[in-house]
Structure formats: C-alpha cells, structure tokens
Amino acid sequence: MNNFLWSLQLLLAAVFVLAGGVKLTQPATRVRPLAPPFFSLAFLRMLGALELLGALGVVLPTLTSYWPRVTALAAGALALVLAAAALVHAGQREHNRLPLLLVLLTAALVVAWGRW
C-alpha cells in the first residue's frame, strides 16, 4: 500500500509542478488561454504558486517524516483544486478535460485517505 500511495503522490506532484510551473513562468499570452476569460492573470499566477506548494506538500512531509499528516492535508487541498477545475471546465463545456481531472481527483482523495 505504501508503494501505491508513493506512486500516486509522485504522479500528483509531477502534474502540479508542471501545471503550476507553466502558470508561473510562461508569458501572459500563453497563460491566458488556459483558463476562462473571467480569471485574471494575477489569479492564475497565484493558482500556479499554490499548485507548486501543493506538489511539495504532497511529497516532502512523508519523505522527511516531519509532520507526515501534512501530506494528507495537501492531497485534500489538491482534491479541492481539482474538483473546482472540473466544475469550471464542465461549465465551459470542455468535457474532453474531465476524465483526466477525475482520475487526478481520485488519486488525490486516495492519497489523502491513505496518508491520514
């Protein structure tokens, strides 16, 4: 079970490092098309920073054995981000993105439950 949870944690960390890194490092012209028009660039940059923190939070506490319950909390927070993303994309009729979001949401919930 530990190896399975680690696999899910590393998957979540990789996805959120990539997603957060794009939102933080790319120019506005490349970041704006990633979200609905009612999201400001500042909001997207903040979301990118939170995604990077979530990626760290889902791996480092368990890796260092220092406050390992933070991993569960970080995974729960990422699950909330993924649920919100699924609602936004469904509202924008971008249904092709929903399967990946739901798989990642399930992974985040399993990590939150398994590490708690």
CA distance readout (Å), 99 to 12, 52, 65, 74, 104: 15, 22, 33, 22, 9
For the four alpha carbons of 32, 89, 43 and 19, in that order, the dihedral sign comes to negative
Answering whether pTM is above 0.85, one says yes
CA 45 to CA 98: how far, in whole Å? 22
Average pLDDT over residues 82-104: 92
Summarize pLDDT for 7-32 with one digit per residue, the tens: 999 999 999 999 999 999 999 999 88
Total number of domains in the chain: 1
Express as a percent the part of the chain with pLDDT over 90. Answer: 77
Res 33: pLDDT:
85
For residue 98, the enclosing domain spans 2-115
Checking if the pLDDT of 35 tops 90, the result is no
